[in-house]
A and B are shown apart, each in its own frame.
Chain A
Amino acid sequence: GAGVSQSPRYKVAKRGQDVALRCDPISGHVSLFWYQQALGQGPEFLTYFQNEAQLDKSGLPSDRFFAERPEGSVSTLKIQRTQQEDSAVYLCASSPQGGGQPQHFGDGTRLSIL
């Protein structure tokens, strides 16, 4: 079956623009996570969904970051008024139930803010 799919793979935006990043998890996976990975670092947690419910958004860096998963499948991470420090790879991961089950990652979206 298909893995976690993310689009676009690369996104270049000018500072101040809004961007939207899409994640299509593995079919049937209840849990969906977003992580941010800076160059040379490990991924850092941003937010978590269980089905359509956003149960943890403690990792979102600022109120410019917003995520949704309205029907419990596809998720979108939106960044408003982008800043240069938002440049990173944004990874999406899903797992069947969560609770320590292994997470499967997409290839990420590399975001560059000019």
Chain B
Amino acid sequence: QKEVEQNSGPLSVPEGAIASLNCTYSDRVSQSFFWYRQYSGKSPELIMSIYSNGDKEDGRFTAQLNKASQYVSLLIRDSQPSDSATYLCAVTPPTSYGKLTFGQGTILTVHP
């Protein structure tokens, strides 16, 4: 079992729809959770961080964390073609310095 697994893609949604990206992790004591967006040929860009159970909203993005189920998700409302990218879920184990363990990424395509 991989440490961090994301729902297999690619995911295709129409413009204006809600895109739902899911991620599960195996280490129950993981502490910090991140969603990065990566455009082709570019570096990962942090879009959301979440540290405690529940929902965290930032503009069109909502991250949801459920530590009991070891599950973290990202919802993108009113999806735009510019949201088309690979979305990476990342988790930090319980170390003092926070190295990231990434999932394999989910490719999202938002079509007009």
Interface residues of chain A, those whose CB is within 8 Å of chain B, are 4, 31, 33, 35, 40-45, 48, 50, 55-56, 59, 91, 93, 95, 98-108
Contacts and interface: CB of A to CB of B under 8 A. Distances in A.
A43 B97 contact: no
Interface stretch (B11-19, B41-49, B76-84): B41-49
B16 to A, nearest CB: 28
Interface of B: 4, 31-32, 34, 36, 42-46, 49, 51, 88, 90, 92, 95-105
Contacts, number: 64
Nearest to A55: B97
A101 to B, nearest CB: 7
Given A42-B88, A42-B104, A105 B97 contact: no
Given A33-B99, A56-B97, A105 B34 contact: no
Contacts of B99: 33, 45, 48, 56, 59
9 contacts: A33-B99, A40-B104, A42-B4, A45-B99, A93-B100, A105-B36, A105-B43, A105-B45, A107-B43
